[in-house]
Amino acid sequence: MAPILEVEGLQKRYASGHEALSGVDLTIEKGEILALLGPNGAGKTTLISIICGLVTPSGGQVRVDGHDIRHDYRKARALIGLVPQEIALEPFETVWNLVRFSRGLFGKPRDDAHLEAVLRSLSLWDKRDAKVHELSGGMKRRVLIAKALAHEPKILFLDEPTAGVDVELRRGMWEVVEGLRARGVTIILTTHYIEEAEEIADRVAVINRGQILLVEEKARLMARMGRKELRIELQHRIDALPDRFAAQGLELIHDGNAILYHYDTRGERTGIASLLAELAEEGIVLRDIVTRQSSLEEIFVGLVTEDAA
Ligand SMILES: Nc1ncnc2c1ncn2[C@@H]1O[C@H](COP(=O)(O)OP(=O)(O)OP(=O)(O)O)[C@@H](O)[C@H]1O
């Protein structure tokens, strides 16, 4: 499939001399959901702002569906919808007028049927004549998305879509994102909530100090980087672990009623079979065995900490 977005060697040095991006490469396929994860100041907003033509890059290239964002700005920009983090909407304007103006800004001919479909998909159709100040916070966020979709973009950037939103609204927002993907919109979202990436992204890009540390399919990333934890529950409690296990990093937990073993899913052997055999040799009888995969959050923290070292 042809990429919808190609970022090559992108650099940004602000007038202050601060290098916010130092050679970012990123390719995004049509119809995928990519989560851009990074700590504060990593360069996420700078990257999005350059792609959307709000900040001028110091070097490198960006193409949107083949259109260079500098030489072919209008065509490139028309393919992008941006949902900013801050809610900045005219309080006394109606929802309908806002989406209509937004479409007009991109020089698109009037298409009330499209706007109706957008508002319906965001459960805002009943609110089309309401003024912004009459809406709840969650509805205002959905109006921001409706505005960004008014001109039929192929890529939608969501900058922290659920920051400060309660859990229920966050779920609602994820459903909206799923619905958009089903209609073929490519979505790039920045988030501080790892569970958001874990829940809805197809791929995850981790950015730190202006560089992409990794871009990978979420499922593969979790399988490749994820350490697993094995909790071995014992039939009878023990006072201490036999010495032979000291080197294997086993931990006695739950007041001697369970043993914790960490293994790396990247390793060729997990060592579980031999561990269980050795425990049997020591006369330690097992009651149950429970495994747990490390979360994306643990993987992310591990990556960023490694990068800082
Ligand atoms: N206009 C500017 N002038 C100088 N430095 C800037 C400017 N905008 C951003 N920076 C710096 O560039 C770096 C990257 O900022 P950016 O806003 O892209 O990060 P971010 O990953 O979006 O962070 P956050 O999650 O906090 O929004 C930061 O160190 C920031 O202070």
State which residues of the chain have pLDDT below 70.
1, 164-165, 223-227, 264-270, 293-297, 308-309
Q: State in Å, rounded, how far the first CA of the chain is from the last one.
A: 38
Burial of 211 (0-12, 13-18, 19+ CB in 10 A): middle
Give the closest residue (by CA) to ligand 1 atom 31.
Answer: 41
In CATH, which of 1.10.3470, 3.30.70, 3.40.50, 3.20.14 is domain 227-293? 3.30.70
Q: Which residues pair with 22 in a beta bridge?
A: 11
Does the C-beta of 191 come closer than 6 Å to ligand 1? no
Of the residues 12, 14, 162, 194, which should be mutated to test ligand 1's pocket, given the most ligand atoms within 8 Å of the CB?
A: 14
Does the C-beta of 14 come closer than 6 Å to ligand 1? yes
Residues 6+ apart with CB under 8 A from 30: 1, 2, 3, 4, 154, 184, 186
pLDDT of residue 41: 87
Burial of 303 (0-12, 13-18, 19+ CB in 10 A): middle
pLDDT of residue 48: 94
pLDDT of residue 305: 74
Does the C-beta of 170 come closer than 6 Å to ligand 1? no
Token match 């083949």: residue?
Answer: 66
Does the C-beta of 46 come closer than 6 Å to ligand 1? yes
pLDDT of residue 1: 62
Give the closest residue (by CA) to ligand 1 atom 17.
Answer: 45
ipTM > 0.90, yes or no: yes
pLDDT of residue 111: 94
Of the residues 19, 37, 44, 86, which should be mutated to test ligand 1's pocket, given the most ligand atoms within 8 Å of the CB?
A: 44
pLDDT of residue 6: 97
Residue type, 71: H
Does the C-beta of 44 come closer than 6 Å to ligand 1? yes
Give the closest residue (by CA) to ligand 1 atom 2.
Answer: 14
| Full DSSP string of 72-124 | THHHHHHTEEEE-SS----TTSBHHHHHHHHHHHTTPPP-HHHHHHHHHHTT-
Per-domain boundaries in the chain: 3-223, 227-293
Give the closest residue (by CA) to ligand 1 atom 7.
Answer: 14
pLDDT of residue 261: 87
3-223: CATH number: 3.40.50.300
Q: Please write the tens of the pLDDT for every residue from 94-104.
A: 999 999 999 99
